[in-house]
């Protein structure tokens, strides 16, 4: 087989439940890093510290990657060390996160990516609008199998979707509740959040909260970040 050329993988793959439904393989984790890498420079505040990342870089903690890939933290650290040794990435850890630089990032990207970015964003906006309409039309659709039965029993959540929330929204909330170790009495706040806010806002708040070293503060940090984004102060 001639292993030359390349295929396009759209970043919307990250929003597909199939991508994160089970423990990642090492190959999947590598592709995940490629998809997570910023396509343009960006600056943001994390735990009060300004973080600047360039094109082809990712700012994540080992803890957040461990939760995302369903690995333990030691496995993530060893994987990143292997990628460093193989000169696939360069990583540097500071007080709040690990900055991962994808080596030869432009090799993995279409050289017309930047010139088509505006069209892509417009297309994504139309797709998201259509998806929202589809979700509202399928509130009572029970055709998809529920893969969260055990977690629901543990959290005391009914098998059927909470009234007014689609199965997809409920599953998103369950993932976050489980990962952040949120007590059952707080679960309704997360169902409301995933219903009321865009998914990118929810994921940004989750990434911020999961990085906090004190597990008991993650609930508070999630909604603090959510309000910051809502008010345009972050």
For 51-72, what is each residue's pLDDT tens digit?
A: 888 999 999 888 889 989 999 9
Kindly report the CATH class assigned to 11-108.
mainly alpha
pLDDT of 177 over the 60 cut: yes
Mean pLDDT across 196-209: 86
Nearest alpha carbon to residue 51 among 99, 105, 92, 101: 99
For 95-120, what is each residue's pLDDT tens digit?
A: 888 999 999 888 877 654 544 454 44
pLDDT of amino acid 71: 93
Mean pLDDT across 2-20: 77
Assign 166 to helix, strand or coil: coil
pLDDT of amino acid 79: 95
- Beta strand 42-46 pairing with 89-93: unpaired
- Give domain limits for the chain: 11-108, 119-230
CA distances from 192 to 150, 174, 197, 214, 215 (A): 22, 12, 9, 24, 22
E strand or H helix at 90, and its extent?
Answer: strand 89-93
More confident residue, 223 or 156: 223
pLDDT of amino acid 151: 58
pLDDT of amino acid 78: 95
pLDDT of amino acid 136: 35
Its pTM stands at 0.51
More confident residue, 47 or 13: 13
pLDDT of amino acid 86: 94
pLDDT of 234 over the 50 cut: yes
CA distances from 109 to 29, 54, 112, 168, 180 (A): 17, 15, 8, 31, 33
More confident residue, 46 or 134: 46
Mean pLDDT across 216-229: 88
pLDDT of amino acid 168: 74
CA distances from 166 to 34, 134, 138, 150 (A): 30, 10, 7, 19
Distance between CA atoms of 101 and 56, rounded to whole angstroms?
A: 6
For 121-173, what is each residue's pLDDT tens digit?
A: 444 444 444 444 443 333 233 334 444 566 566 556 666 655 666 777 777 88
**Where residue 191 falls among pLDDT bands split at 50, 70, 90?**
confident
Average pLDDT, the chain: 77
């Amino acid at each position: 087989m001639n292993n030359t050329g390349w295929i396009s993988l759209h970043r919307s793959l990250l929003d597909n439940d199939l991508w994160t439904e089970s423990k990642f393989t090492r190959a999947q984790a590598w592709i995940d890093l490629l998809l997570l890498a910023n396509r343009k420079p960006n600056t943001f505040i994390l735990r009060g510290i300004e973080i600047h990342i360039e094109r082809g870089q990712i700012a994540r903690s080992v803890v957040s990657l461990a939760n995302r890939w369903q690995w333990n933290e030691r496995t993530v650290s060893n994987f990143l060390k292997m990628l460093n040794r193989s000169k696939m990435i360069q990583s540097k850890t500071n007080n709040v996160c690990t900055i991962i630089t994808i080596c030869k990032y432009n090799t993995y990207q279409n050289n017309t990516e930047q010139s088509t970015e505006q069209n892509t964003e417009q297309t994504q906006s139309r797709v998201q609008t259509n998806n929202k309409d589809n979700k509202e039309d399928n509130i009572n659709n029970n055709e998809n199998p529920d893969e969260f039965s055990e977690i629901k029993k543990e959290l005391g959540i009914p098998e059927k979707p909470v009234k007014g929330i689609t199965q997809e929204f409920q599953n998103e909330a369950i993932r976050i509740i489980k990962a952040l170790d949120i007590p059952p009495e707080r679960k309704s706040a997360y169902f409301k959040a995933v219903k009321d806010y865009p998914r990118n806002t929810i994921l940004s708040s989750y990434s911020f909260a999961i990085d906090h070293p004190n597990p008991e503060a993650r609930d508070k940090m999630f909604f603090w970040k959510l309000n910051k984004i809502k008010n345009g102060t972050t």
